[in-house]
A and B are shown apart, each in its own frame.
Chain A
Amino acid sequence: MAEVISPLPGTFYAAPAPDEDPYVNEGDDVEAGQVIGLVEVMKQFSEIKSQVAGTVSSIEVANGDAVTPGTVVAVIEEK
């Protein structure tokens, strides 16, 4: 299991835009470097990426919720 951690404080977004599908859903396969979500800090958006390839076993933060540095955003089951 690998945790995807937000390095930043701010607001988490699961999708690139409000009317679009989330970057990933639980059960999806992801590549190393794939975008899991966005964190908005003072109106600037940063991508949060998975460090490893695997399957998304859980997404820990709801869309629009606050995160702090170290918050676990998702858990990936490594391949």
Chain B
Amino acid sequence: MKRLLIANRGEIARRILRSAKVRGLETVLACSEADEDSVAAREADSFVVIGPAQAQKSYLNIEAILESARDSEADAVHPGYGFLSENPDFAQAVIDAGLTWVGPLPETIRLMGDKAAARRAAEEAGVPILPGSDGLVDDKSQAHDVAEQVGFPLMIKAAAGGGGRGIRVVREASDFDGALDQVRTEAQASFGDSRFYIERFVERARHVEVQILGDGNTAIHLGDRDCSMQRRSQKVLEEAPAPKLPDDIREQMRSSSVALAESCGYTGAGTVEFLYDPQRREAAFIEMNTRLQVEHPVTEVITGIDLVAEQLRIADGEALELDQGDVEFRGHAFECRLNAEDPTQNFFPSPGRITGLTWPDRPSVRVDSAVESGSDVAPYYDSMIAKLIVHGSDRADALDELRQALDETTVDGVATTLDLHRSLAARPELVEVTHHTHFIEETPDVLPKPEQS
């Protein structure tokens, strides 16, 4: 591997650039017309414009990306996260073009992208799963049997569902038939497929996940993270290690995640996501993400391991250098995702020019930013502009660092979620770890108030 093409944008493109340069690789950024003047394009050794602003025509355009790799004589492709990073056809096309794919094998991506197959693979590897139907259900009497075993509340999910359609939470047995009919009708109308699953519904669940590294033969874990602070299923604030987790549950999650990674010959960095039920003290498999995560820095900060460097080493065919025993955890880390959205206006997007920017300048703070003062935040992509990461000697110290770092940060020119983060960092629920994945939606007073003019 000599010349790496980065098929992504924003902060993650810059993050990959940093580790690629340390490894001595030449870097090429494949970017859209809208990102020609971005910080990432300036920092890469060179950039190739792959299409117009709209992602469909650029960052999601497999042919254009492969062509840019050929033209720039790159010999490897890093997909970052989002866009084509979990598209097995893209991974295969990169490999078929004779290039090195920085990620797991296409068949691993495909396996984990198929919900039913992933759940089966997890179960076989000993990963705890939620009680529910064994695969898809297609008839009512079978559905009644499953519902009786699972108990209430439960969730009926259409096999082809998505975007909040074809999913119902049922709290009482008497509501079951009505909800089932609704899901099947909606699923048939929306997706042309009325098959469904049944799963236990967990109230006030936390989201906990395990970072994995594998070289195709062996796998290790780099500990866990908690990403329970979410809004509309989008992570807002993450931390490592996951707080208030019983030792046996943490061990079960970590060892079963390693087993799952080894069972599919996992290569590179991956994350096994769990739902944690604090009432029952039980963890259950959600899915495995076959790519680098947005929140990977909290793991890097407490382990001192550069995850992108490890991805590049493994993609280059090297065996894992680290043993499980080499992985040590030091202190506690938080990460805030700073989005160009206005929390006082129902999180309406706020693209535009950043006219001023101040980041904290202390060794305990790391900033992974897409932008600098004078940058334009384009309307075409995700609204995240930067991540603020803090490290403390323990969780209480890290929370103090977080509050101070947020106080020292200013962004002018666009509205951001900075005030939401300030409000969250002061909440007793975060301190006491009683928050859950619907905390922000259920706690309207956590949102900053519009400024009085």
Q: B-contacting residues of A (Cβ < 8 Å)? A: 8-11, 41-44, 64, 66
Contacts and interface: CB of A to CB of B under 8 A. Distances in A.
B54 A42 contact: no
B57 to A, nearest CB: 8
A11 B349 contact: no
Contacts of B381: 42
B53 A42 contact: no
Interface residues on B, range: 10 to 19
Interface of B: 52-54, 56-57, 340-341, 348-349, 351, 379-383
Given A8-B379, A11-B53, A42-B383, 8 more contacts: A9-B379, A10-B379, A11-B380, A41-B379, A42-B349, A42-B379, A64-B54, A66-B54
A52 B396 CA distance: 58
Contacts of B340: 42
A41 B349 contact: yes
A42 B56 contact: no
Contacts of A66: 52-54, 380
Of B53, B56, B340, B349, the most chain A CB neighbours within 10 A belong to B349
B110 to A, nearest CB: 24
Given A66-B52, A66-B53, A9 B382 contact: no
Closest 7 CB pairs of A and B: A42-B349, A9-B379, A42-B383, A41-B349, A10-B379, A41-B379, A11-B54
24 contacts: A8-B379, A9-B351, A9-B379, A10-B351, A10-B379, A11-B53, A11-B54, A11-B379, A11-B380, A41-B351, A42-B340, A42-B341, A42-B351, A42-B380, A42-B381, A42-B382, A42-B383, A43-B382, A43-B383, A64-B54, A64-B56, A64-B57, A66-B53, A66-B54
A41 B382 CA distance: 9
Contacts of B56: 64
Contact of A44 (B52, B53, B54, B348): B348
A42 B379 CA distance: 5
A28 to B, nearest CB: 26
Nearest to B53: A66
Contacts of A9: 351, 379
A64 B54 CA distance: 8
A8 B382 CA distance: 16
Nearest to B339: A42
Q: Which of B54, B57, B341 has the most CB of A within 10 A?
A: B54
A8 B342 CA distance: 14
Contacts of A43: 382-383
A41 B351 CA distance: 8
A8 B348 CA distance: 11
Nearest to A10: B379
A66 B57 CA distance: 12
Q: Of residues A41, A42, A44, which shows the largest number of chain B Cβ atoms within 10 Å of its Cβ?
A: A42
A43 B56 CA distance: 13
Contacts of B382: 42-43
A29 B60 CA distance: 37
Contacts of A11: 53-54, 379-380
A11 B54 CA distance: 7
Contacts of A8: 379
